[in-house]
Amino acid sequence: MDQNHMKKQINSARNSLFQQGYLDEQFIQLEDLQDDANPNFVEEIVTLFYSDSTRLIRNIETALDNYPLDFCKLDDYMHQFKGSSSSIGAKKVKDECSQFQECCKARNTEGCIGIFRQVKHEHATLKRKLETYFQVSPSNSLENRHTLQRNTQLCAAD
């Protein structure tokens, strides 16, 4: 009963991440890659993503402080950021990154700064949510993961 309750909780936490558009199917693929040989694959990737993205955010912040802005450099950083985000399926962050790149192309300084704030916001939100999720989720349980995957498929089908 207790286990059931916990499953439900995890499920709902996960589903809300998808339903609210924080994550997309790429995350499911990541989870798919996780198996007995690689029990903590998703968590590992996500951790990697956070260390990577924190560095990138710092770089971008430094670049944004220099005036006039070096749009090429910003675009470069953001390309990397976007690549990482799309790899883990962080949909909202990725969308913001795309917008940031649009602004870079348009050489819109204020837009860049504004959107970067949003990028950071989304990034932080996702981090918080994922942390919570990983705390409750016993991701090394294979059985659990399969159940989750089923549910996700249903979600995606919706």
Tokens describing residue 40: 């903590």
Nearer to other proteins (CB atom), residue 33 or residue 142: 33
* Nearest CB to other proteins, comparing residues 2 and 158: 158
Instruction: Please report where in the chains the tokens 């968590």 appear, as a residue.
Output: 43
Interface stretch with other proteins, choices 3-11, 35-43, 64-72, 131-139 (CB under 8 A): 35-43
Is residue 112 within 8 Å of 79, Cβ to Cβ? no
- Residue 151 engages other proteins in binding (rule: CB under 8 A): no
Which of 25, 70 has the CB closer to other proteins? 25
Examine residue 19 and tell whether it contacts other proteins (CB under 8 A): no
Phi, psi of 22 (to 5 degrees): -75, -35
Indicate whether 43 belongs to the interface with other proteins (CB under 8 A).
no
* Tokens of residue 19, six digits: 């339903």
Q: Is 79 in the site for other proteins (CB under 8 A)?
A: yes
Longest dimension (CA), the chain: 61
3-class DSSP state of 95: helix
The residue count for binding other proteins (CB under 8 A) is: 28
Residue 45's CB: how many other CB atoms inside 10 A? 20
H-only helix segments in the chain: 2-19, 25-33, 41-65, 71-88, 91-106, 109-136, 142-157
User: According to the binding rule CB under 8 A, does residue 153 interact with other proteins?
Assistant: yes
Q: How far is the CB of 131 from other proteins (least distance, A)?
A: 17
- Nearest approach, Cβ of 140 to other proteins (angstroms)? 16
Binding site for other proteins (CB under 8 A): 24-26, 29-30, 32-33, 35, 37-38, 41, 44-45, 48-49, 52, 76, 79-80, 83-84, 86-89, 153, 156-157
